[in-house]
């Protein structure tokens, strides 16, 4: 049995959660900062860390109140200590250390990307069949992993340029839509047709890496015209906007699914897990409905950044006796080793 208070502050969400036995989420509070960064169309690191400082105490207090427990009922304090923006990470790590020390409980440092994979079991009775291929698709990460158990994870491939969520956000900007663009482009794509043959970048035949910058540029040229050639005349109407979104989404989804297939074959996987903000994408979910292996997605509220996934994975670390000490560092890079 474990009751873990978890803290997440790696990027632009300040979050805290109370998780029991690694799966039952007693509370999950997320203070999003997206209104602070919207006008910059991206996360401004200094604004993010300042907002974390202001919000972390109210968010942790709220998560304890929603869980209806006191600190005496907490067995460990978990924190996402990598990867992320250094200023943002430092707020969560420092807070978690101070709290763990003051209530005299173990501290558990968790890798945020690893936790995105774990999010598929939260509030569910999913039992993942290992070895599993894991795909993390978010605004900051696009990578494939092989998992032999929840704690034996290796990196099999990653993006060589943009993350897929970043490509969604940039395409949304090109189309004059709001930030973050993923959910908006997804919604419009569902009303459009795949009429434009945007490029799919598979890199070499065996590659498990990703590249999305060529696709993003293809959308830019389609919308604004190719530099040095005649400018596009007609403005984009509503139907074309939807068709561009559907065609872009089709290219993203096809690329992701192809790479999952390659990884499953190479590592003889028994299941697939998908996590991160883009795992909320309706096109990706429907493309994998009839996949040859079981495919697990998180519940929609656990796709984007949250602390419940940190508390869930921390239970696995704690059960294996892997705890951190007060020297735990905030580290900008992920710590998952390459295959
Ligand atoms: O996991 P997350 O909250 O933050 C990072 O760790 O990056 O992911 C945020 C990203 C954003 O780029 C957002 O546009 C994208 O996830 N996103 C989506 C959808 N919902 C969120 N992308 C495509 N389709 C969606 N439905
Ligand atoms: Zn994330």
Residue-wise pLDDT tens digits, 73-103: 999 999 999 999 999 999 999 999 999 999 9
CA distance 18 to 6: 6
User: For residues 144 and 208, is the Cβ–Cβ distance under 8 A?
Assistant: yes
Confidence of residue 141 (pLDDT cuts 50, 70, 90): very high
pLDDT tens for residues 294-320? 999 999 999 999 999 999 999 999 999
The ligand placed nearest to the CA atom of residue 168 is 1
Is residue 34 over pLDDT 90? no
Q: How far apart are the first and last CA of the chain?
A: 32
Burial 61-84 (b: 16+ CB within 10 A, else e): eebbeebebeeeebbbbbbbbbbb
3-state DSSP helix/strand/coil percent for the chain, to nearest 5? Answer: 45, 20, 35
Closest C-alpha residue for ligand 1 atom 21: 277
Residue 179 confidence (pLDDT): 82
Q: What is the pLDDT of residue 180?
A: 83
Distance CA 18, CA 77 (A): 10
Ligand nearest, relative to CA of residue 114: 2
**pLDDT score of 261:** 98
Closest by CA position to 121, among listed 333, 319, 296, 321: 296
H/E stretch holding 30: strand 24-32
Residue closest to 310 by CA, chosen among 19, 75, 13: 19
Measure the CA–CA gap between 66 and 69, rounded to whole angstroms: 8
Residue 89's pLDDT is what? 98
Q: How far is the CA of 299 from the centre of ligand 2 (A)?
A: 15
Q: Residue 19 phi/psi, 5° resolution?
A: -130, 130
At 40 the pLDDT is: 84
| pLDDT higher than threshold 80 for residue 231 | no
- The model scores a pTM over 0.85: yes
Contact 202, 255 (CB under 8 A): yes
What are the tens digits of pLDDT across the range 149-196? 999 999 999 999 999 999 999 999 999 998 889 999 999 999 999 999
CA 103 to ligand 1 center in whole angstroms? 35
Alpha helices, DSSP H only, in 104-224? 112-118, 164-174, 182-189, 213-224
Instruction: Kindly state the average pLDDT of the residues 109-113.
Output: 98
pLDDT of residue 41: 78
Q: Is the pLDDT of residue 226 over 80?
A: yes
Which helix (H) or strand (E) segment is 185 a member of? helix 182-189
249 CB within 6 A, ligand 1:
no
pLDDT category, 42, cuts 50, 70, 90?
Answer: confident
pLDDT of residue 70: 97
Beta bridge partners of 152: 149
Q: What is the rounded CA–CA span in Å between residue 68 and residue 48? A: 29
Distance 277 CA to ligand 1 centre (A): 3
Cis peptide before 281 (omega within 30 of 0): no
169 CA closest ligand 1 atom index:
14
In the chain, % of residues over pLDDT 70? 100
Are the beta carbons of 281 and 45 closer than 8 angstroms? no
Q: What is the pLDDT of residue 265?
A: 98
CA of 136 to the centre of ligand 1 (A): 11
**Atom nearest to 304 CA in ligand 1:** 3
- CB-CB contact of 114 with 153 (8 Å): yes
């Amino acid at each position: 049995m474990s009751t873990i208070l978890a803290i997440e502050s790696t990027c632009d969400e300040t979050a805290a959660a109370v998780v029991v036995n690694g799966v039952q989420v007693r509370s999950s509070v997320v203070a999003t900062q997206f209104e602070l960064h919207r006008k910059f169309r991206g996360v401004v690191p200094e604004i993010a860390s300042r907002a974390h400082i202001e919000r972390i105490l109210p968010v942790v207090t709220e998560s304890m109140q929603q869980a209806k427990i006191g600190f005496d009922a907490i067995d460990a304090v978990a924190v996402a200590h990598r990867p992320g923006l250094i200023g943002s990470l430092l707020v969560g790590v420092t807070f978690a250390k101070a709290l763990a020390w003051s209530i005299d409980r173990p501290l558990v440092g968790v890798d945020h990307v690893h936790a995105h994979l774990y999010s598929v079991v939260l509030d569910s009775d999913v039992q993942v069949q290992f070895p599993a291929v894991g795909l993390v698709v978010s605004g900051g990460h696009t990578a494939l992993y092989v998992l032999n158990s929840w704690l034996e994870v290796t990196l099999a491939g990653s993006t060589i340029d943009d993350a897929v969520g970043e490509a969604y956000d940039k395409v949304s900007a090109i189309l004059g839509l709001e930030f973050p663009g993923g959910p908006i482009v997804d919604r419009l794509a569902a009303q459009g047709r795949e009429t434009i043959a945007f490029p799919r970048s598979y890199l070499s035949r065996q590659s498990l890496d990703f590249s999305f910058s060529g696709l993003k540029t293809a959308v830019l040229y389609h919308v604004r015209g190719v530099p040095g050639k005649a400018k596009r005349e007609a403005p984009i109407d509503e139907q074309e906007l939807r068709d561009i979104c559907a065609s872009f989404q089709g290219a993203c989804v096809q690329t992701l699914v192809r790479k999952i297939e390659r990884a499953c074959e190479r590592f003889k996987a028994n299941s697939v897990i998908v996590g991160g903000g883009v795992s909320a994408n309706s096109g990706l979910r429907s493309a994998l409905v009839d996949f040859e292996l079981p495919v697990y997605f998180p519940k929609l509220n656990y796709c984007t950044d949250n602390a419940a996934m940190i508390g869930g994975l921390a239970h696995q670390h704690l059960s294996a006796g892997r705890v951190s000490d007060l020297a735990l560092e905030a580290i900008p890079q992920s710590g998952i080793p390459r295959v």
